[in-house]
């Protein structure tokens, strides 16, 4: 029995939480070569070298460290003496803040502040940090997410340096930071449109940089996050503060941080249990409508199935959402399974973290314990099959606008995403990204390490092939889609793609046998 009475939170107890999507140094698949030389090509270029370099090897000179009680004038003199673009501030030997040369100009000089004041009055307190063992992609994502260009690097909790955009951005991913920063600076939908229009170019640049698809998806998703969050902020600015705490939650490919050049919307609103429909519904209805219509204007089309926060059913308090998931898990009929494939990839975008964590924990505990639900989810996961027929030939789309093509999303990426989701649910993991899910599955012995590596390599090959096809369509000025004619690939490239599809078939067969025997890990 769930105690829903405790599922409310103090509206002022936490800061807004647009969570950092940089979870840790989860690098792209590729510890070994499995699928011949082409896969090695995909992983061997400079984009990976930059994204996988440890931050401890990237930082240059020792950081400028000063006590936070130091005056602004003294700090400025020290920065000028050391020719440093930033200073890390300490309180009793612990990092407490950061100040950059940009901060000095915008917060002190431009405002005519007294330079005799302690630097703590103008520093950025409690800055986000990374560890020296983290890698370049983590810094890229954190900078993009927060719209900053200086990140303190710690070792055993003590600052050892500062990584800047200039230190690591030796490839086109710097534009990710610019798009995120520009998103948060916009004051209107028209301004956000100008940012969104640059995403296709960003995708082309990232794809051409030979960066692995896993990282490209995370970067593209970070821009979508920023656009979405900014729309929410602008709506709140117009409508006033929310009457009760709420979460804006995204699902589907954005929830997994796996977006490409095209995507529809999958979102819902999680409201505090103090929500009173008679008093509060008009506010949240208007907010959801403004945000969803805004995303549609930016090119993220409305979900064909209406799975968006502007739909009343998907704008509910926590207790209702618990009842939804309880029903889907305990009565896994076809529609429930379809919804589960979307909503089990949920990720908090905006709002109170504490509220979201309650729902996430509820889902994880319920799904892991229900063997019937997992068996039905496994069967549903087998509905999307790789496009391979007898004699290892491609099974192509027949008829219509996409005649004789491969649907790289539905028959290539989706089967791996579905497998990863099942593995994750069976171990009670709250991971959402498919690469993270597959790695955790191996760590928890749900599948063999070899099986996990094979699926990771297969996912990488299919995903990067899909992204390169989309990038070429963008370059040619054509509408972007997921339907690739296989004859645009060389014979060797087609063989590699068939190898990847064969891996998926093998793992699907193993999953089917596993659940038929009802031996759920």
Pairing of strands 94-100, 86-91: antiparallel
CA angle 255, 259, 262 (to 5 degrees): 125
Is residue 131 domain-shared with residue 77, that is, in the same domain? Answer: yes
- 35, 499 contact by CB (below 8 A): yes
Write out pLDDT tens, residues 134-164.
887 788 778 877 778 899 999 988 999 999 8
For residues 138 and 36, give the distance between their C-alpha atoms in angstroms, rounded to a whole number: 29
DSSP 103-131: HIIIIIITTT--TTSBGGGTSEES---EE
Q: How confident is the model at residue 520 (pLDDT cuts 50, 70, 90)?
A: very low
In percent, the amount of the chain with pLDDT more than 70 equals 87
**In which band, very low, low, confident or very high, does the pLDDT at 251 lie, cut at 50, 70 and 90?**
very high
CATH code of the domain covering residue 136: 3.10.580.10
Least confident of 25-29, 48-52, 131-135, 322-326: 25-29
Residue 88, helix vs strand vs coil = strand
Instruction: Please tell me whether residues 90 and 224 are part of one structural domain.
Output: no
Residue 390, in any domain of the structure: no
- Where is average pLDDT lowest: 197-211, 216-230, 231-245? 197-211
Sheet holding 86-91, edge to edge: 65-67, 86-91, 94-100, 124-125
pLDDT of residue 391: 83
Does residue 121 sit in the same domain as residue 262? no
The pTM of this model reads 0.77
**Higher-confidence position of 510 and 167:** 510
Distance CA 433, CA 114 (A): 48
Q: Is residue 47 part of a domain?
A: no
Question: What's the pLDDT score for residue 176?
Answer: 80
Backbone angles phi, psi at 70, to 5 degrees: -60, 145
- pLDDT tens-digit readout, 104-119: 999 999 999 999 999 9
Residue-averaged pLDDT of the chain: 86
Q: Whole-angstrom Cα distance, residue 215 to residue 25?
A: 11
Residue 34 has pLDDT above 50, yes or no: no
Query: Would the pLDDT of 303 be above 80?
Result: yes
Q: In this predicted structure, what is the pLDDT of residue 135?
A: 82
pLDDT 10s digits, 399-421: 999 999 999 999 999 999 999 99
pLDDT of residue 517: 58
pLDDT at 326 over 90: yes
Asked if residue 141 is part of any domain, the answer here is yes
What range defines the domain where residue 133 resides? 52-168
Which of 48-52, 95-99, 517-521 has the least mean pLDDT? 517-521
Q: Are residues 131 and 218 in the same domain?
A: no
Measured CA distances, 117 to 89, 90, 164 (Å): 14, 16, 27
Residues 185 and 125 in one domain: no
Range name among 59-63, 351-355, 493-497 with the lowest pLDDT average:
59-63
Report the domain count for the chain: 2
């Amino acid at each position: 029995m769930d105690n829903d009475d405790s599922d409310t939170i103090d509206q002022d107890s936490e800061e807004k939480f647009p969570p950092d999507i940089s979870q840790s140094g989860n690098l792209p698949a590729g510890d070994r070569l499995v699928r011949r030389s082409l896969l090695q090509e995909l992983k061997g270029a400079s984009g990976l070298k930059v994204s996988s370099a440890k931050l401890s090897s990237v930082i240059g000179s020792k950081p400028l460290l000063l006590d936070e009680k130091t005056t602004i004038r003294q700090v400025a003199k020290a920065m000028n003496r050391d020719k440093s673009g930033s200073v890390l501030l300490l309180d009793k030997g612990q990092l407490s803040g950061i100040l950059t040369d940009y901060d000095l100009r915008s917060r002190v000089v431009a405002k005519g502040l007294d330079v005799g004041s302690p630097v703590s009055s103008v520093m950025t307190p409690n800055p986000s940090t990374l560890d020296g063992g983290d890698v370049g992609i983590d810094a890229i994502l954190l900078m993009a997410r927060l719209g900053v260009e200086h990140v303190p690097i710690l070792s055993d909790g003590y600052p050892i340096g500062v990584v800047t955009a200039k230190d690591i951005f030796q490839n086109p991913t710097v534009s990710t930071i610019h798009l995120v920063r520009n998103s948060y600076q916009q004051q209107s939908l028209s301004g956000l449109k100008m940012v969104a229009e640059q995403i296709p170019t960003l995708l082309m640049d990232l794809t051409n940089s030979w960066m692995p698809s896993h990282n490209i998806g995370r970067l593209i998703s970070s821009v979508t996050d920023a656009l979405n969050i900014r729309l929410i902020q602008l709506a709140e600015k117009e409508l006033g503060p929310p009457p009760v705490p709420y979460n804006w939650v995204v699902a589907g490919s954005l929830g997994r941080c796996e977006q490409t050049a095209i995507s529809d919307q999958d979102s819902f609103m999680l409201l505090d249990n103090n929500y009173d429909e008679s008093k509060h519904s008009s506010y949240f209805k208007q907010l959801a409508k403004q945000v969803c219509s805004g995303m549609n204007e930016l090119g993220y089309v409305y979900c064909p199935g209406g799975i968006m926060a502007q739909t009343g059913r998907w704008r509910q308090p926590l207790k209702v959402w618990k009842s939804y998931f309880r029903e889907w898990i305990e009565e896994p009929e076809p529609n429930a399974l379809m919804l589960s494939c979307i909503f089990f990839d949920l990720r908090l975008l905006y709002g109170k973290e504490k509220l979201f964590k309650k729902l996430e924990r509820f889902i994880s505990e319920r799904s892991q314990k229900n063997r019937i639900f997992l068996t039905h989810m496994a069967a549903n996961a087998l509905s999307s099959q790789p496009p391979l027929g007898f004699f290892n030939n491609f099974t192509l789309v027949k008829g219509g606008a996409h005649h004789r093509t491969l649907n790289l999303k539905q028959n290539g990426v989706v089967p791996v995403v579905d497998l990863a989701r099942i593995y994750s649910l069976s171990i009670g993991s709250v991971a959402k990204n498919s690469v993270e899910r597959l790695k955790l599955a191996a760590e928890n012995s749900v599948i063999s390490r070899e099986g996990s590596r094979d699926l990771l390599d297969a996912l990488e090959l299919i995903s990067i092939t899909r992204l390169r096809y989309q990038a070429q369509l963008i370059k040619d000025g054509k509408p972007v889609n997921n339907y690739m004619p296989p004859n645009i690939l060389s014979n060797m490239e087609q063989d590699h793609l068939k190898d990847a599809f064969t891996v998926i078939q093998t793992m699907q067969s193993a999953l089917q046998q596993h659940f038929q025997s009802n031996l759920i890990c």
